[in-house]
Amino acid sequence: QTNAFIGRPLPARTCSFPIFFLATLPGPSQAPGAPRHLQPLPLSFATFATPFGTSFVSPSSLSLSIGDSDGGSGEKGEMTMGTLGAVLRHPEDLMPLVRLKMAAARIEKQIPSEPHWAFSYTMLTKVSRSFDIVIQQLGLELRNAVCIFYLVLRALDTVEDDTSIPSHIKVPILQSFHQHIYDSTWHFSCGTKDYKVLMDKFHFVSAAFLELGKRYQEAIEDITRRMGAGMAKFICKEVETIEDYDEYCHYVAGLVGLGLSKLFHASELEEPAPDSLSNSMGLFLQKTNIIRDYLEDINEIPKSRMFWPREIWGKYANKLEDFKYEENSKKAVECLNDMVSNALMHAEDCLQYMSALHDPAIFRFCAIPQIMAIGTLALCYNNVEVFRGVVKMRRGLIAQIIDHTRALSDVYCSFFEFAGMLKAKVDKNDPNATLALQRVETIQKACINSGMLSRRRGYVDKGKRRFKSVVTTIVFILLSTLFSVFLKRWLVTDPA
């Protein structure tokens, strides 16, 4: 990304907040004298992606170039008035956002030169939303394997999601997709925008796949085969029961968890993980995504996508789409709380999975999405806005989670805190209040029993620190402005 503060005037709506000089600072892991584009990213710029099948936000929405807090426009490299207002309300978000911006800029300089790898990593940034920053934390060999694993499954998902493909054509493609990844000439045109480009030029992905180690190839093929078969099964089958719901989520996300665990083991960086725990890692994220994306899925054209199980929503309405109408708000929220309570059952398994990880990069790769999942569930719980739009964490909070999650103690503290946030929202009159409280208390008990809870500053209640943070932000802005003025005068000074 080029820096928008240099070489052109800022639009009237933006605030000329002079932070560009920070982009020239070396990262904490940069080795002296080495070319910047060859440097590994600082480990503190850990994942904000969704390696187990779910994504929450786009990379551009997490940088200082973002627009309004609700996803409005804003050009790359600019801090709009909406973003500046959000930072002033939450000054503690500022430096994590700056560091995330710097990390994203470095990633663009690390794309390989070989055509098939250049295509793969470029497409990763376009179709993954945020996965590009995730895998840059990994070593080269594992990074390449995870990149191709993601693109293969994204291509498979593109076939499944394209409602214009007749079932009699779609089902055989899904069932045989694992064979096509060995064919460096195969492609299938479907999807739209960047997803269509991925499918039209899938031969590049296959070429990269063929360069992976044998153990990586076998793991990717196995998961692709099983996922394709599962997707084909649900093309002609609706999610009726909770058992169906768990089965569908297993196929589209739990298998991703199993596949990643296989890749981690193939890299010899981790021990084999129990399939049940790997599956829960995927289900926790996938169920969060399904809950949060109710409105988007129900309004899908030409046909609604319905992933909420009838066994749950049928207790509250005659049709799943009824929840989007205001007159059904009470029942909609009750159903929502039922769905969230169901998702929470996987949290303890996730904590157990993460507690067994050894490699710091893999740990961050796995931990941040899980923290964002429980944080998103806490926001969604008892929140009718799920049926009016998309409920998600503010960008600065996500940046903080990325920046601060470095050890297992951070995971336990975050889970404990967000579980407490959800607990505070439980209405005793809700029909599922008892179940929700039981699930939350189970999570918090696991966190307490870890012995790792500390007095680390939290994400939820920052009122006591707000004044100090505001002062710090104002001082930072003033110093940045003075630096910008000084630099500008120095650059235009005539040496003669």
Q: What is the mean pLDDT of the chain?
A: 81
- Asked if residue 181 belongs to a domain, the reply is yes
Q: How far is CA 248 from the centre of its chain?
A: 20
Say which residue, 106 or 218, is predicted with more confidence.
Answer: 218
Q: Report the 10 Å Cβ neighbour count for 442.
A: 15
User: Does the structure show a pLDDT above 80 at 24?
Assistant: no
User: Does the structure show a pLDDT above 60 at 34?
Assistant: no
Q: Report the 10 Å Cβ neighbour count for 317.
A: 16
- Asked if residue 389 belongs to a domain, the reply is no
**The tokens of 297 are what?**
């899925």
Provide the angle, in degrees to the nearest 10, between the axes of the packed helices 140-161 and 255-266. Answer: 160
- Find tokens 């605030």 and name the residue: 15
Non-local CB neighbours of 87 within 8 Å, separated by 6+ positions:
79, 93, 94, 97, 396, 473
Which of 18-32, 71-85, 139-153, 254-268 has the lowest average pLDDT? 18-32
Q: How far is CA 117 from the centre of its chain?
A: 23
- Asked if residue 153 belongs to a domain, the reply is yes
The predicted-structure confidence for 361-413, as pLDDT tens digits, reads as follows: 999 999 989 999 999 999 999 999 999 998 988 888 888 888 888 999 999 99
- Asked if residue 276 belongs to a domain, the reply is no
- Asked if residue 332 belongs to a domain, the reply is no
DSSP code string of 67-109: -STTS----TT-EEHHHHHHHHHSGGGHHHHHHHHHHHHHHGG
- Asked if residue 144 belongs to a domain, the reply is yes
Number of domains in the chain: 1
Domain of residue 231, residue span: 114-237
Provide the angle, in degrees to the nearest 10, between the axes of the packed helices 214-235 and 140-161. Answer: 20
The predicted-structure confidence for 437-477, as pLDDT tens digits, reads as follows: 999 999 999 999 999 997 666 676 554 455 455 566 666 66
- Asked if residue 199 belongs to a domain, the reply is yes
Q: Which residues form the catalytic set? A: 248, 292, 305, 365
pTM of this prediction exceeds 0.75: yes
User: Does the structure show a pLDDT above 50 at 64?
Assistant: no
Q: Residue 220 sits in a domain of what CATH number?
A: 1.10.600.10
Q: Widest CA span of the chain, in angstroms?
A: 82
- Asked if residue 86 belongs to a domain, the reply is no
